[in-house]
Structure 1
């Protein structure tokens, strides 16, 4: 009896991805409590990152850092990626402890990461990303030659150290942003609509909240809104972030999980950060010039919107086709798990 009483909620049966947060444990106060818990944990994360950056700056200024490797820029790159990656344990804590449901419900309608499908989506992302890079180079030379990548002067040691950081941390950074935006945000919005038969469940508001539209809109535009607030003049990148975010959110709903969004974000970010390292532009990472949100090349120019729209469109068509052929589930099982 005690085990059943305190066990976390299972996947709700027969629900789309955005509705998996509406478990048997859901109450009206679950969402505001989850938001408060997330905010508190995020505050302590920022304090820890700020302390770490301060320590590195002190070490560099003391003369203890070797001159041959610019430890400050590489450390800032690592801290920037790590600060995003650490959203993963924060979100999982909120889901498991505050919302009191299994963390697998955040990953997909299967209640887990579908690793085979993630691998397929990652392979599918390579072609649109490669085509985007191939299209960017000739277009940039005509429209804005300054955007064309060029060999930097960072040196082999700096390049190797920075690439090690990128290869290790970028997949976690990309997954963390998708788990937060397309995972937690979409499911919190989707959980607001009461089920038919529940109190208020037959109202027009409940029907709208149960539909995927509000969840896709929230999960797809939140990051773009935050970016616009901090970079009000960069409308091209903001528009591209909206396209990328809405595409990832829609695919998450359409395929019943985060795998497709994580795959495209990861492949794009690896290309973006690798070129930044190649060009010796480490200091620009995290600024308006380089956005760690899975965008293709050309941030801050019309090219980024053109490439993002083409890339997301091509990837979406490919993923939907593959999902149909593979019979990827879009809803949870009809019986509670």
Structure 2
């Protein structure tokens, strides 16, 4: 939907039959015009009227540099976001696990049930973890208008909507690149033994239905909100790129240096992709493909719990992982160039929504 300012006009009242002309009526005071809508809702809608629209030419990491923005707003939003992350993901996860225990396995000691779920020995644990992380989307949707006075749709791209064709291509590339790298890894480590994980078919349903949501939520929070909030603190986008990547790696818990570098490199490459393509499509596509493929392979080899519990990897494995995502990033950038994907906010009359 093209943004349009709502026009108000009125026809002068027609009066007839008067013997003496009356003094012309004093024109009414001009009414304030609403801000241009940026969210695809009805122009002049109450929600959008109170929100700011990023200026044309801004890059993705600096979309929150709007009128009235201040460094303390960004830091406040980041602090609230991280606090809510730790609180809500845990509460939702535990609530789901408790509900399944109370309904289906009350005879099992609760501590044992929770421990097994946490290790992903049961599908309930994966379901709770994925839906807990999905609340990151809700957190971002609240923080954007409340703290920054910007519509949450600007987290998607510099055009405030998902660029569907580019996303579909990136999702396909996110499948192809890891498969190629996994093929090279197989030559080094050998072909894995097929052994279906316990409760495989239930795990499969959870993986297909909730892993994409979990991966997308992490991208919206780490490469979306944190990148914009921290990237808007300074004029250079690199502060947001580096800081959000570091937080992403640290929030994955205990890990050895190789695994930390692996995750930091993933976050860094994903953040650069967001900056250079102007949106989350590439990062979401790669993250969804990576998580779904990783847990599908684990399910086929009976190692879902082991995959969940990884705390260290070798430098060789880290090189394969980073190399696979670097290949994806290169292909995603080439496709973005071919499709002429916008990297900055377009002039307002040219923005397309919906």
Give TM-score scaled by structure 2 length: 0.76
Residue 26 of structure 2 corresponds to none
1:104–1:113 contact (8 Å) kept in structure 2: no
Does 1:48 pair with 2:87?
no
Q: 2:222 aligns with which of 153, 177, 181?
A: 181
Change (3 A) 1:15 1:128: same
C-alpha distance in 2 between matches for 1:272 and 1:115: 24
Distance 1:61 1:277 in 2: 27
Partner of 1:235: 257
Contact 2:92–2:132 at 8 Å: present in 1 too?
A: no
SS state at 1:8 partner: coil
Give the CA deviation at 1:174: 0.9
Aligned to 2:164: 115
Displacement of 1:2: 8.8
Shift of 1:328: 0.7
Match of 1:60 in 2: 105
Partner of 1:166: 207
Tell me the distance in 1 between the aligned counterparts of 2:71 and 2:33: 24
Tell me, yes or no, if structure 1 residue 300 matches structure 2 residue 319.
no
Match of 1:150 among 193, 196, 199: 193
| Partner SS for 1:210 | coil
1:334 CA displacement: 3.5
C-alpha spacing 1:153/1:179, structure 2 compared with 1 (3 Å): closer
Question: How far apart in 2 are the matches of 1:313 and 1:35?
Answer: 28
1:39-89 alpha-carbon deviations (Å, 9 max, x no partner): 4533144223223323434442426xxxxxx99711001111111122111
Task: Give the distance between the partners of 2:240 and 2:197, measured in 1 at CA.
Answer: 43
1:3, CA displacement in angstroms? 5.2
Question: Which of 264, 275, 289 in structure 2 is aligned with 1:267?
Answer: 289
Whole-Å Cα distance in 2 between the matches of residues 277 and 153 of structure 1?
A: 6
Judging changes above 3 Å, is the alpha-carbon distance between structure 1 residues 324 and 39 closer, same or farther for their aligned structure 2 residues? closer
Structure with more helix by fraction = 1
Partner of 2:147: 98
Task: Give the Å deviation of 1:281.
Answer: 2.7
* Displacement after TM superposition at 1:211 (Å): 1.6
- Superposed CA offset, 1:125-181 (max 9, x none): 23211101111112123xxxxxx63223546xx222111110111111111111111
Identify the residue that residue 327 of structure 1 maps to in structure 2.
340
RMSD: 2.5
Whichever of the two has the greater Rg, that structure is 2
Partners of 2:268 and 2:53 lie apart in 1 by 28
Contact 1:125–1:315 (CA under 8 A) maintained in structure 2: yes
Distance 1:179 1:249 in 2: 11
Report the 3-state secondary structure (helix = DSSP H, G, I; strand = E; otherwise coil) of the residue aligned with 2:122.
helix
CA contact (8 A) 2:155 2:224 kept: yes
Structure 1, 127-136 or 5-14: larger mean CA deviation: 5-14
Equivalent residue for 1:144?
A: none
Question: Are 2:327 and 1:318 equivalent residues in the alignment?
Answer: no
Deviation at 1:13, TM superposition (A): 1.7
Q: How many residues in Structure 1 have an aligned counterpart in Structure 2?
A: 296
Q: 1:128 to 1:282 in 2, by over 3 A?
A: closer
Question: 1:33 and 2:46 equivalent?
Answer: no
Counterpart of 1:203?
none
State the TM-score, normalized to the length of structure 1: 0.80
Partners of 1:114 and 1:211 lie apart in 2 by 25
Structure 1 stretches of 5 or more lacking a match?
A: 64-69, 142-147, 193-208, 290-298
